[in-house]
């Protein structure tokens, strides 16, 4: 996937779902049996090839349930086709949050014209070295385009 793509609110929602699973804030839907083996509640195409849980290895399906592929499949099963995302988009959004932080991902999703490549070139021109400078750059670009939305410190919309 190229660096020049637009971050949509659907990508932000799917990325947030993946982060919650990855950081163990939420858990994959499934059940434990009497032997302590975890089985997923819903199976998707990405689940093919996962070994069955055994007493010795009870969590292969839980580990798979925390991957990007399964998080995206779960997200796509709950939304209309218009809002579906691909694993590549979520991986790219994951890289943005690693480089710039989650607030920047939210700022990118709130307006129509700023793409990832434009943000990076603008940051390089202005010589930003810290994440706060990058977030303010995204916010300034957003205000110049007259598409304002405020976020709290935790990244939630007000």
- Tell me the pLDDT tens digit for each residue of 3-44: 566 777 888 888 888 888 888 899 999 999 999 999 999 999
User: Is 111 in the same domain as 72?
Assistant: no
Quote the radius of gyration of the chain (alpha carbons, Å): 18
User: Is 58 in the same domain as 128?
Assistant: no
pTM passes above 0.85: no
Q: How many structural domains is the chain composed of? A: 2
User: Is 80 in the same domain as 107?
Assistant: no
CA geometry: angle at 60 spanning 57 and 61, to 5°?
A: 135
User: Is 80 in the same domain as 108?
Assistant: no
Q: With respect to residue 91, please indicate whether it lies within any of the assigned structural domains.
A: no
User: Is 78 in the same domain as 113?
Assistant: no
User: Is 121 in the same domain as 149?
Assistant: yes
User: Is 13 in the same domain as 77?
Assistant: yes
Q: With respect to residue 124, please indicate whether it lies within any of the assigned structural domains.
A: yes
How much is the average pLDDT of 130-149?
51
Q: In the predicted model, is pLDDT for residue 59 greater than 90?
A: yes
CB 147 within 8 A of CB 110: yes
State which residues form the domain around 148.
Answer: 101-158
The span from the CA of 112 to the CA of 31, in Å, is 41
User: Is 62 in the same domain as 30?
Assistant: yes
User: Is 107 in the same domain as 77?
Assistant: no
CA distances from 61 to 20, 46, 50, 71, 95 (A): 17, 11, 7, 13, 25
In three-state secondary structure terms, 155 is coil
Q: With respect to residue 129, please indicate whether it lies within any of the assigned structural domains.
A: yes
């Amino acid at each position: 996937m190229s660096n020049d793509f637009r971050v949509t609110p659907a990508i932000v929602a799917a990325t947030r779902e993946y982060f919650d699973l990855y950081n163990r804030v939420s858990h994959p839907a499934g059940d434990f049996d009497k032997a302590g083996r975890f089985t997923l509640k819903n199976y998707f195409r990405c689940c093919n090839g996962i070994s069955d849980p055994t007493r010795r290895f009870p969590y292969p399906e839980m580990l798979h349930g925390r991957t990007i592929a399964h998080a995206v499949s779960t997200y796509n099963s709950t939304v209309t086709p218009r809002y579906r995302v691909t694993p590549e988009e979520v991986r790219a959004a994951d890289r943005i949050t690693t480089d710039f932080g989650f607030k920047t991902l939210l700022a990118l999703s709130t307006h129509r014209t700023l793409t990832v490549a434009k943000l990076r070139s603008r940051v390089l021109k202005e010589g930003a070295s810290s994440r706060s400078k990058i977030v303010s750059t995204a916010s300034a670009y957003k205000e110049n385009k007259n598409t304002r939305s405020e976020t709290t410190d935790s990244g939630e919309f007000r």
